Structure 1
Amino acid sequence: GRRAADKARIFAEEALARTRAKLLAMGAPDFDDVAVDIIGEESFWGAHATASPSREVALKVACRHQDARAVGLLLRELSGVALGAPAGMAFFAGARAKPSPVIRLFSTLVDKTLLNLKLIDQAGQTDFEPP
């Protein structure tokens, strides 16, 4: 509907605020990292976004915390806030999401002369020289 991106952003901000208040009350640290992306609004483009206001968006909230229970608390808050969510808000998951490890790819270039490579298979191991 109208102002879909604003509604999604407020929805995420409210869930995060409630979770942070609970973490503070428990003496737990804040999240290490939080990412709120509104898909359909060109949120990934930042200042270069050109999309006109969309009537249909998808909200993605991701976070990192040293304790998985804090992530679970945010997930419960997102589910709880959804019960009083704006009309037209729908969830894509069949069940409540669960905390999961962050898996990232960090690519780097290494001088091949610094490597000692071996191919290992059922027959044994063989030295390998990169071309």
Structure 2
Amino acid sequence: MIVAGIGSRKGVSEQQVLDAISATLSEYQIKASQLDAIATARLKQHEAAIFSAGRKLGLEVMIVGDAELAEAGKKTSSHSDLSLTLTGAPSVSEAAALAAAGQGARLLGPRRVLDSVTCAIAQSGEAS
């Protein structure tokens, strides 16, 4: 399973989210058609741009609960004090991707920051 984890500032646009996903996938030579889902933190469940980007890509947007996010946060490679304060995880995008990808998931690399959106890619051997 391959999951794009998304974090963002409030009020980002669908295009900003799509651009961040596209740039991150390109960095790891992954096609958008290989993505199984987008994931984000419960804190972002009302961020319309994330959901509209998911619809545009034909992907489910998975909301990761606080406890799962904090647990997955133990395996992140990036750190944001603000993210840690607000969610209990040092990186929303990395922790969300890891949690949603399932057991044995690993990050392909650190999150990418692009225009107020962070995106991280996690992969596991689990089927989508």
TM-score (norm: length of structure 1) = 0.28
**Greater RCO between the two (CA within 8 Å, min separation 6)?**
2
The TM-score with structure 2 as length reference comes to 0.28
- Larger helix percent: 2
Greater C-alpha Rg: 1
More strand by share: 2
